[in-house]
Chain A
Amino acid sequence: MNVVAKPKIAKNVWNYLLLSVLALVVLAPFFIGLWTSFLPTMQIAKGNFLSTDLSFQNYVDAFTQTPILHYLGNSLVISTVTMFAQLLFCSMSAYAFVFLDFKYKRSLFVLVLATMMLPFEAEIIPNFSTVKAMGLLNSYSVMIIPFLTSAFGIFMLRQSFKQMPAELKEAADIEGLGHLQFYWRIVMPYNRISLITLGAYSFLGAWNQYLWPMLTTFSNSFRPVQNGLRQLQSEETFNDWGMIQATAAIVVIPTLIVLFVGQHYFKSGANEGAVK
């Protein structure tokens, strides 16, 4: 028995070693960033990376001297509204494509699918003119309105709605449920995992927007956090590495917590909706 067990233990030690080294490599940027966020910028500038002069001063400075909380608030508003809007409008469109009969249904669906091929990045020139003409520049709406719906979301929810058992629709018809009731009371709760997945995608998508807000917002009152962090680096704080790392940590820590808590949903949903 010992003879069999030994190579297995050796193999496990090797596995754990490999896993730990890789985890360390993946996490190194977090550790380096977090560590420097506790160091005085003076020490960082002198190259005293292993200084033990640790404190929360950078965090105090970040909260009191930069609008980082305001940036976070802006992003939270924009991402939350975008998420709920996409959940509503994508699910309504998906419902129409699955449960309604109407003219040009196929052509319209192909049209929606076709928009998935067109990158928003390549359309910024006319879109900038459009939002300028609408008087939307420098506002929350300019970062929300173009993203109220998404072709990907419609496609993903349509796949999910199509997999619902036909008996549900039949039962709803017998019960005399109208489309609005069937949509809201049956379809939406039944597809909650897909909706949570889409919600996570659209929230993260809005949270990570960079080019569009950069073009359309010019003041700290509306600037989302991605562009806010860039603003801080280009301002007087440029070489204040300690404080910059503190702002990065303030931004990333809540996201990581949400990610770890929500991972269960995200994982099952991602495989279910996108790549199954």
Chain B
Amino acid sequence: MLKSPASDSTSAPINRAETKAKIEASEKAFSLNAKDKYYALLFLGPSLLILGIFIFYPMFKTLYLSLFLTNTVGKPTVFVGLSNYINLLTSADYLNSLAVTMVYVLAVTALTIALGLLLASLASKKIAGIGFFRTLFSSTMGVSVSVAAIFWLFIFNPSTGFLSLISTWLHLPAIGWLTDPTWAMVAVIITTVWMNLGFTFLILFGAIQSVPTTLYEAASIEGASSRFQFFHITIPSISPTLFFVSIVTLIDGFKSFGLIDLMTKGGPTNATNMLVYRIYKDAFYSGNFAQASAEALILTVIIALFTLLQFKVLEKRVNY
């Protein structure tokens, strides 16, 4: 696990110059290292303290709580081993939450990447005024979760909303956005994709810009169509970035809370009751801290797996 970050440091000489520098450094080491220790404490201490209190300790505490039954103020009472987990993984309600989260995360990631890629490749065309479009395409990056929720809640509003007006004008049947289980999910997905688009566009655009132009020139001479160039030059060249953005979008999707709370409150009939919203409800509404802790740990495992996957790819790309 995490092999590369660990293996980068002082013991692995990469080239001669670095080895030489290291020998010199170790010659000085006797006088410097003693002091370095105190500087390390000063420089690293605050960060380690904060990470310890608010990231490490709570993870172990969550694990601990998840193995007990808890009373209404969250104090552990009876040790129950894994039964909180067994109860969860056999409960149709929780499995539904897992399933809707998966649907949401996969749909959001696929649509964000596809649309981001479309915008980024169009914005890479060298035509006059393209900079203006780039700015517009990245604009949703400046939208926070509650502003996005207000915009889209109005658009989806069943009585006076923009879409209901359109469907009235066009004499189309009204869609129960936010009140119908399926459409509520669609509405939340659309809003999330819209919010993600600005950031994804910028990152993918940056990646496309860094593809060597000689590749395209050579392909043009060979008479390759722009469609061929997109699939055989652009996509392979930016695949590490595509992967990186996909994982980031995926992880953000699993952590989704704000939009759910603002738009659907997990409803209708649990159709959008995703993992984080559930943890919040079970802990702070129902007072079932033990079960919520088990849910939190399952979420941690899911996200940790995807983050590890991301590190694996990063380690190939990042210059250690």
User: A95 interface residue, CB < 8 Å from B?
Assistant: yes
User: B230 interface residue, CB < 8 Å from A?
Assistant: no
Select one of A19, A33, A106, A251 contacting B6, CB under 8 A. Answer: A106
Contacts of A65 in B (CB 8 A): none
Contacts of A241 in B (CB 8 A): 154, 157, 160
Q: How far is the CA of A276 from the CA of B254 in the complex (A)?
A: 25
Contacts of A115 in B (CB 8 A): 51, 55-56
Q: Is the CB of B55 within 8 A of A123?
A: yes
Report A246-260 CB contacts with B as 1/0, cut-off 8 Å.
Answer: 011001100110111
B270 to chain A, nearest CB (A): 19
Contacts of A219 in B (CB 8 A): none
User: B32 interface residue, CB < 8 Å from A?
Assistant: yes
Q: Is the CB of B5 within 8 A of A125?
A: no
Q: How far is the CA of A226 from the CA of B143 in the complex (A)?
A: 11
B198 to chain A, nearest CB (A): 8
Report B124-143 CB contacts with A as 1/0, cut-off 8 Å.
Answer: 01010010010111111111
Contacts of A193 in B (CB 8 A): none
Q: How far is the CA of A19 from the CA of B135 in the complex (A)?
A: 12
State which residues 194-243 of A face B: CB under 8 Å.
207-208, 210-211, 214-215, 225-227, 229-230, 233, 241
Q: How far is the CA of A175 from the CA of B320 in the complex (A)?
A: 28
Contacts of A260 in B (CB 8 A): 135, 139
Q: How far is the CA of A148 from the CA of B48 in the complex (A)?
A: 11
Q: Is the CB of B54 within 8 A of A49?
A: no
Contacts of A270 in B (CB 8 A): 202-203, 206
Q: Is the CB of A47 within 8 A of B160?
A: yes
Q: Is the CB of B5 within 8 A of A109?
A: yes
User: A55 interface residue, CB < 8 Å from B?
Assistant: no
Q: Is the CB of B46 within 8 A of A92?
A: yes
Q: Is the CB of A226 within 8 A of B65?
A: no
Contacts of B276 in A (CB 8 A): 121-122, 211
Q: Is the CB of A32 within 8 A of B74?
A: no
Select one of A27, A89, A173, A245 contacting B154, CB under 8 A. Answer: A245
Which residue of A has the minimal Cβ distance to B143?
A252
User: A84 interface residue, CB < 8 Å from B?
Assistant: no
State which residues 194-224 of B face A: CB under 8 Å.
194, 197, 202-203, 206-207, 210
Q: How far is the CA of A194 from the CA of B22 in the complex (A)?
A: 26
Q: Is the CB of A26 within 8 A of B136?
A: yes
Select one of A121, A127, A163 contacting B255, CB under 8 A. Answer: A121
Contacts of A266 in B (CB 8 A): 202
Q: Is the CB of A229 within 8 A of B122?
A: no
A172 to chain B, nearest CB (A): 13
Report A93-118 CB contacts with B as 1/0, cut-off 8 Å.
Answer: 10111001111011111111111111
Q: How far is the CA of A247 from the CA of B147 in the complex (A)?
A: 9
User: B80 interface residue, CB < 8 Å from A?
Assistant: no
Select one of B46, B142, B147, B203 contacting A275, CB under 8 A. Answer: B203
By CB atoms of chain B within 10 A, which of A97, A101, A127 has the most? A101
Report B297-320 CB contacts with A as 1/0, cut-off 8 Å.
Answer: 101100110011001000001111
Contacts of B68 in A (CB 8 A): none
Q: Is the CB of B142 within 8 A of A149?
A: no
Select one of A180, A233, A267 contacting B206, CB under 8 A. Answer: A267
A86 to chain B, nearest CB (A): 10
User: B23 interface residue, CB < 8 Å from A?
Assistant: no
Select one of A113, A116, A229 contacting B150, CB under 8 A. Answer: A229
Q: How far is the CA of A266 from the CA of B202 in the complex (A)?
A: 9
User: A29 interface residue, CB < 8 Å from B?
Assistant: yes
Q: How far is the CA of A103 from the CA of B44 in the complex (A)?
A: 12
Residue numbers of B with Cβ under 8 A of A are 2, 5-6, 9-10, 17, 21, 25, 28-29, 32-33, 35-37, 39-40, 42-44, 46-48, 50-51, 53-59, 61-62, 65, 74, 118-119, 122-123, 125, 127, 130, 133, 135-152, 154-155, 157, 160, 162, 165, 168, 194, 197, 202-203, 206-207, 210, 240-241, 244-245, 251, 254-255, 257-258, 261-262, 276, 279-280, 283-284, 289, 292-293, 296-297, 299-300, 303-304, 307-308, 311, 317-320
Known contacts A36-B154, A130-B57, A244-B154, then 18 further A-B pairs from the complex at CB < 8 Å, ordered by chain A residue: A23-B136, A27-B136, A29-B155, A47-B160, A49-B162, A92-B46, A93-B44, A100-B36, A109-B5, A112-B47, A112-B51, A122-B299, A126-B61, A225-B146, A233-B262, A270-B206, A276-B318, A276-B319
The 5 A-B pairs at the shortest CB distance, nearest first, are namely A210-B258, A123-B58, A126-B58, A126-B61, A122-B296
Give 19 CB contacts A-B under 8 Å: A15-B122, A23-B133, A27-B136, A32-B155, A89-B46, A93-B44, A93-B47, A100-B43, A102-B33, A123-B58, A129-B74, A130-B54, A130-B57, A207-B144, A225-B146, A226-B146, A233-B150, A241-B154, A245-B154
Residue numbers of A with Cβ under 8 A of B are 12, 15-16, 18-19, 22-23, 26-27, 29-30, 32-33, 36, 44-45, 47, 49, 89-90, 92-93, 95-97, 100-103, 105-130, 145-146, 148-149, 151, 154, 159, 162-163, 166, 173, 179-180, 183, 207-208, 210-211, 214-215, 225-227, 229-230, 233, 241, 244-245, 247-248, 251-252, 255-256, 258-260, 263, 266-267, 270-271, 274-276
